[in-house]
């Protein structure tokens, strides 16, 4: 999946219980979104549909069918409708972490459990909440998100916010979000996101092969190699910062070490970018300040991916067998799950 997109796509769940204002904006935003849905077939057949949009929605239809028929992902009404929300992002996510910690702050709700973000349908509200967290001394990132999932509680539509993507990126997000509908473990964002990322990547590879698009597959592999190198940089920085924060240094000394660590990360990123012709994953992050909250969100997605890849390889790529194995792992206590697929980082 394209680097900037996957980093941003933290799955947004509509909280069923929360502070009054947050609950209200979530309910209003969801109802507004659902009211805008139209069946994709109807949009494709409409004479008023722009050709570019029609082409994208035809690709979505083929991708959606492949997801259920070839990848064993849920065959339901999700991503079979289209909605134009009239803005560039559907929600804005707020992620926060303490000044001296790489672990994210969590918010807990019934049904979905604890998650490492809060999602807002209104950008001003998201930024206002982010500013409040900064005043509390937290590291914060606020970012627009082009797609989200309700875990199958609603038939999620494809959105206008996704229509600027190519078909590989569309396949990535559809495979990813449908995996959340296949299996979701409350209170374990790292498990959920890494599982969805693993299925997403395997799905994209199979989808491109099935269409004989070997050149696109080769290009995708190069992009993923670049992506992995940046992830490795971010993961190494997170590990180094964790050691610094646990060192017992005085606060100002710790701030100085933290600042130096992020400066080294930026320099390493610039070296990679230069070697790739001036383009690299996460450019939007590095164009502004990067902090603990950014590293926390990356860890949520990728810490457990190698473990899931091992599980998939252990069943020779048999997806039904993989899903069955993962469901068994999901029943374990979190410490045992972590030991099997997430390691100790």
pLDDT digits (tens, 9 = 90+) for 88-101: 999 999 999 999 99
pLDDT of residue 1: 44
| Nearest of 170, 126, 168 to residue 144 by alpha carbon | 126
Cα angle for residues 164, 84, 203 (degrees, 5° grid): 50
Instruction: Quote the tokens at residue 238.
Output: 């997170």
**Taking the model in full, what pTM does it have?**
0.87
Backbone angles phi, psi at 113, to 5 degrees: 80, -150
| For residue 11, pLDDT beyond 60 | no
Task: Please give the DSSP secondary-structure letter assigned to residue 339.
Answer: I
How many Å apart are CA 297 and CA 10, to the nearest integer? 8
How confident is the model over 235-260, as a mean pLDDT?
96
Query: Cβ distance 11 to 177 under 8 Å?
Result: yes
| For residue 25, pLDDT beyond 80 | no
pLDDT of residue 267: 95
CA distance readout (Å), 39 to 159, 160, 254, 309: 12, 14, 54, 35
Q: Please write the tens of the pLDDT for every residue from 26-48.
A: 778 888 888 999 999 999 999 99
Alpha helices (H) in the chain, listed in sequence order: 3-8, 20-35, 40-45, 51-71, 123-135, 167-182, 189-210, 214-245, 251-275, 283-286, 292-302, 305-314, 319-330, 334-337
At residue 132, the 3 state secondary structure works out as helix
| For residue 170, pLDDT beyond 70 | yes
pLDDT higher for 279 or 218? 218
pLDDT of residue 132: 97
| For residue 229, pLDDT beyond 60 | yes
């Amino acid at each position: 999946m394209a680097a900037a997109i996957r980093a941003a796509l933290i799955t947004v769940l509509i909280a069923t219980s929360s502070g009054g204002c947050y609950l209200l904006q979530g309910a209003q935003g969801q109802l507004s979104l659902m009211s805008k849905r139209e069946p994709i077939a109807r949009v494709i057949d409409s004479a008023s549909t722009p050709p570019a949009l029609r082409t994208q929605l035809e690709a979505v239809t083929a991708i959606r069918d492949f997801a259920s028929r070839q990848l064993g992902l849920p065959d339901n009404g999700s991503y079979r409708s289209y909605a134009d929300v009239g803005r560039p992002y559907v929600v804005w996510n707020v992620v926060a972490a303490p000044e001296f910690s790489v672990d994210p702050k969590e918010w807990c709700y019934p049904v979905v459990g604890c998650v490492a973000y809060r999602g807002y349908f209104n950008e001003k509200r998201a930024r206002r909440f982010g500013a409040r967290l900064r005043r509390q001394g937290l590291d914060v990132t606020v970012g627009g998100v082009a797609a989200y999932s309700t875990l199958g509680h609603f038939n999620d539509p494809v959105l206008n916010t996704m229509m600027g993507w190519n078909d590989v990126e569309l396949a990535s997000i559809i495979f990813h979000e449908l995996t959340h509908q296949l299996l979701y473990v409350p209170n374990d964002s790292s498990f959920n996101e890494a599982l969805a990322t693993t299925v997403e990547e395997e799905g994209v590879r199979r989808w491109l092969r099935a269409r004989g698009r070997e050149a696109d597959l080769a290009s995708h592999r190069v992009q993923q190699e670049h992506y992995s190198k940046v992830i490795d940089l971010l993961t190494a920085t997170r590990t180094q910062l964790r050691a610094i924060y646990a060192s017992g240094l005085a606060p100002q000394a710790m701030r100085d070490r933290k600042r130096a660590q992020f400066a080294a990360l930026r320099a390493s990123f610039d070296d990679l970018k230069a070697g790739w012709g001036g383009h690299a994953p996460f450019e939007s992050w590095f164009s502004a300040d990067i902090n603990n909250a950014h590293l926390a969100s990356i860890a949520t997605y990728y810490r457990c991916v190698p473990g899931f890849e091992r599980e998939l390889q252990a069943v020779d790529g048999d997806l039904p067998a993989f899903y069955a194995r993962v469901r068994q792992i999901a029943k374990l206590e979190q410490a045992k799950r972590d030991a099997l697929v997430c390691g100790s980082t």
